[in-house]
Amino acid sequence: MKISGQIVLITGASSGIGAACASELRRNGASLVLTGRSPGRLAQVAKPGDLVLPGDLCDAPFREALVQQAILHFGRIDILLNNAGFGLYAPPTRSPLDEVRAMFELNLFAPLDLIQRTAPLMKARGSGIIVNISSVAGRLTLPWLSMYSASKFALCALSEGLRSELSGTGVHVITVCPGYVRTAFPGNVRGGTMPASLSNPSRFAITAEECASAIARGIEKRANTVVTPASARLLLLAARLFPWQTERFLARFHRQLEQQA
Ligand SMILES: NC(=O)c1ccc[n+]([C@@H]2O[C@H](COP(=O)([O-])OP(=O)(O)OC[C@H]3O[C@@H](n4cnc5c(N)ncnc54)[C@H](OP(=O)(O)O)[C@@H]3O)[C@@H](O)[C@H]2O)c1
């Protein structure tokens, strides 16, 4: 799909991958609806012509108003980019249930609600793209990020089920699984503080701009899945080829994190 002329709703547009997607898609000629909780940070990302609608995506009435106002302003939504999300750094036995529920509300139920509000309209027009930002953690359960992984596995399942439900309608669904991307994400995780070995993996990390450009290429090619960078593709391949070794490695990693906690 050509990005030029498309109306794109980006959640979590106030920082990191969402903000970089806003720049990349605008540069490619899209019109943007930007949302996030922080009006100040959204104002820094927005340019004239963008529609900025600040609010909390965990609030169902806000989600309804968001879609209504976007459609009132632009007449339609061509691309829904479900990007907003946060992580929870704690082992499953010590993950506070209220925090797990809040994370699932943002990482899974908010995207599902926005999909239910936009997909029927896309289907009626016979075109549209839904992009769900999952994670490598949505394909491989990471130690101390197991509940975050669970939310991202669920988002992958939602994406894949939705793609088959919508096949033949002209509406396409893309699952994005980034590896490490240098953003404010580690500082925003709840539960505990991620150690430097997890939060600052300089060798394998990419920038939010590199991630956004891979996402834009995925949209243009109507890819089913975007896994970026290449090291993340290799990690997933190794995990598939060597499941026992991977599990032993992750268990060792878990014990190291336990000692550091
Ligand atoms: N960074 C990585 O290494 C990495 C890797 C794989 C996947 N991801 C995924 O990529 C997505 C973007 O993460 P990021 O790295 O760009 O992190 P980030 O810089 O922390 O951005 C998170 C975004 O989500 C928004 N947000 C958080 N809570 C919200 C809420 N309740 N309502 C509305 N918006 C909310 C934040 O905006 P406000 O604070 O203004 O609300 C912010 O714009 C997430 O889904 C994350 O799981 C990240």
The ligand 1 atom at the shortest distance from the C-alpha of residue 12 is 43
Where does residue 105 fall: left (phi above 0), alpha (psi -120 to 50 degrees), or beta otherwise? Answer: alpha
Lowest mean pLDDT among 73-87, 103-117, 184-198: 184-198
Catalytic residue among 148, 153, 180, 185: 148
Q: What is the pLDDT of residues 231-257, one digit of tens each?
A: 999 999 999 999 999 999 888 888 888
Q: Positive or negative, the Cα torsion across 44, 7, 129, 57? A: positive
The stretch 64-78 carries a mean pLDDT of: 98
Provide the pLDDT confidence category of residue 259 given band limits of 50, 70 and 90: confident
Q: Exposed, middle or buried by CB within 10 Å (0-12, 13-18, 19+), for 110?
A: buried
Atom 41 of ligand 1, residue of closest alpha carbon: 37
Q: What predicted TM-score, i.e. pTM, was given to this entire model?
A: 0.97
Name the residue of 185, 189, 231 whose CB sits within 8 Å of the most ligand 1 atoms, as the mutation to test its pocket: 185
Residues with C-beta less than 6 Å from any ligand 1 atom: 12, 14-18, 36-38, 41, 56-58, 83-86, 106, 133, 135, 178, 180-181, 183-185, 188
Domains for the chain: give ranges and CATH numbers: 7-234 (3.40.50.720)
The answer to whether residue 180 is catalytic is no
Contacts of 2 (CB under 8 A, 6+ apart): 220
CA 241 / ligand 1 centre spacing (Å):
31
Measured in Å, how far apart are the chain's first and last C-alpha atoms?
A: 46
CA 64 / ligand 1 centre spacing (Å):
20
Model pLDDT, residue 201:
63
The ligand 1 atom at the shortest distance from the C-alpha of residue 16 is 16
